[in-house]
């Protein structure tokens, strides 16, 4: 099968290539795609060099599948052009997520929404994926009334320029001596500002978690109150999550549901200082949950801590898993 990775030189694009290799996705022809300044570069795939081509060249090759991580503007322009030549597009930007004609998919939760008619499929926001993977089985059993979530998001969520800023600061560079992605220094700091502010006072990143939760779980009645912050961590988002259910539950029931849920790992033993941390989630595909405890302030409340590698399950791995679902359901043909 001909597979294109659009935005192949970026943080997520690079990881998409790795995940395709690791999961042995059937690729007969690999097509690396990037912007004009990267055309001609060499990309290794399964140990062989491949030359980066432009989007126009890739479309002319009529790929079967394209994994996009090139930003919203590029996706808006290019995804329909790839789809027009019969290519299935899995897009990691926010461009198509809330389009009512496009599916927004976390395979472990709602792969059943995929159909043969879907040629552009949206990959959710990294923080939403991480939050909903453990929430979905709880919602099915106990019905979630309200979610209060605070995110502690890695600089990798902002891309290579943000990582470069933090490394420059850790290397001793003074503010103004290096190109800065953020409006303030990020090292030894926490910035409660991700994406642009809206008139409501929330940021677009925070509202993504609200809107995408409703769409993926298919339930607009769930209250979602998010706060998103950027922290000086390379690799791995953390989330403090508070839930209020409609029905009562036991902590044992919650643990059992998580232990049976694909892609969720329980790390919860405070007596041994065992709880999820981004340092140890890095490079892994699961979502790790711990610090599990009842919220005594409401009748049916639960608090827990949640960690995941935002570039893998939060982006690249989820996109490849969507492609695997398309293949499994016969919407992609392994020739």
Catalytic position from the list 50, 87, 95, 126: 126
302, 245 Cβ separation under 8 angstroms? yes
pLDDT given for residue 334 in this prediction: 61
For 85, residues 6+ apart whose C-beta sits below 8 A from its C-beta are 59, 62, 63
pLDDT given for residue 2 in this prediction: 98
Kindly report the backbone phi and psi dihedral angles of residue 215, in degrees, each rounded to the nearest multiple of 5, phi listed first.
-70, -45
> Is residue 306 annotated as a catalytic residue, yes or no?
no
Domain spanning 2-124+315-328: CATH superfamily: NAD(P)-binding Rossmann-like Domain (3.40.50.720)
Its pTM stands at 0.96
Q: Reduce the DSSP state of residue 196 to 3 states and report it.
A: coil
N-to-C CA span, the chain: 6
245, 143 Cβ separation under 8 angstroms? yes
> Is residue 126 annotated as a catalytic residue, yes or no?
yes
| Domain layout of the chain by residue ranges | 2-124+315-328, 127-310
* Cα–Cα distance measured from residue 60 to residue 43, given in angstroms and rounded to the nearest whole number: 20
106, 114 Cβ separation under 8 angstroms? no
pLDDT given for residue 335 in this prediction: 56
What does each C-alpha distance from 313 to 67, 126, 202, 263, 273 come to in angstroms? 14, 8, 25, 9, 25
209, 128 Cβ separation under 8 angstroms? yes
* Cα–Cα distance measured from residue 158 to residue 214, given in angstroms and rounded to the nearest whole number: 24
pLDDT given for residue 333 in this prediction: 77
* Domain 127-310, CATH among 3.50.50.100, 3.40.50.2300, 3.20.20.80, 3.30.360.10: 3.30.360.10
Strands (E), the chain: 2-6, 29-33, 42-45, 48-51, 65-68, 88-91, 103-104, 120-122, 144-153, 223-230, 237-245, 264-266, 287-295, 301-308
For 140, residues 6+ apart whose C-beta sits below 8 A from its C-beta are none
Each residue's pLDDT expressed in tens, for the chain with a length of 335 residues: 999 999 999 999 999 999 999 999 999 999 999 999 999 999 999 999 999 999 999 999 999 999 999 999 999 999 999 999 999 999 999 999 999 999 999 999 999 999 999 999 999 999 999 999 999 999 999 999 999 999 999 999 999 999 999 999 999 999 999 999 999 999 999 999 999 999 999 999 999 999 999 999 999 999 999 999 999 999 899 999 999 999 999 999 999 999 999 999 999 999 999 999 999 999 999 999 999 999 999 999 999 999 999 999 999 999 999 999 999 999 997 65
């Amino acid at each position: 099968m001909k597979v294109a990775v659009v935005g192949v030189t970026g943080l997520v694009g690079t990881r998409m290539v790795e995940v395709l290799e690791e999961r042995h996705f059937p690729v007969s022809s690999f097509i690396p795609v990037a912007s004009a300044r990267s055309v001609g570069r060499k990309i290794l795939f399964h140990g062989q060099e491949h030359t980066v081509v432009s989007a126009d060249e890739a479309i002319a090759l009529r790929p079967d599948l394209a994994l996009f991580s090139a930003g919203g503007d590029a996706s808006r322009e290019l995804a329909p052009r790839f789809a027009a030549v019969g290519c299935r597009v899995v897009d990691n930007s926010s461009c198509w997520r809330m389009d009512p004609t496009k599916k927004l998919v976390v395979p472990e939760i709602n792969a059943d929404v995929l159909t043969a008619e879907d040629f552009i499929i949206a990959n959710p926001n990294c923080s939403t994926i991480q939050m909903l993977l453990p929430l979905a089985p709880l919602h099915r059993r106990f019905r979630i009334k309200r979610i209060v979530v605070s995110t502690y998001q890695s600089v990798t969520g902002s891309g290579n320029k943000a990582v470069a800023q933090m490394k420059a600061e850790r290397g001793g560079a003074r503010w103004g001596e290096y190109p800065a992605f953020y409006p303030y220094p990020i090292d030894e700091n926490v910035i409660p500002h991700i994406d642009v502010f809206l008139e409501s006072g929330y940021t677009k990143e925070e509202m993504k978690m609200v809107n995408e939760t409703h769409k993926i779980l298919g339930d607009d009645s769930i209250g979602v109150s998010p706060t998103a912050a950027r922290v000086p961590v390379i690799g791995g988002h953390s989330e403090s999550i508070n839930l209020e259910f409609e029905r009562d539950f036991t902590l044992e029931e919650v643990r059992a549901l998580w232990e049976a849920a694909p892609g969720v790992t329980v790390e919860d033993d405070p007596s041994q200082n065992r709880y999820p941390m981004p340092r140890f989630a890095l490079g892994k595909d699961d979502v790790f949950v711990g610090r599990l405890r009842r919220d005594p302030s409401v009748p049916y409340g639960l608090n827990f801590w949640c960690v995941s590698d935002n570039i893998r399950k939060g982006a690249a791995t989820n996109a490849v898993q969507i492609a695997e679902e398309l293949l499994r359901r016969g919407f992609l043909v392994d020739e």
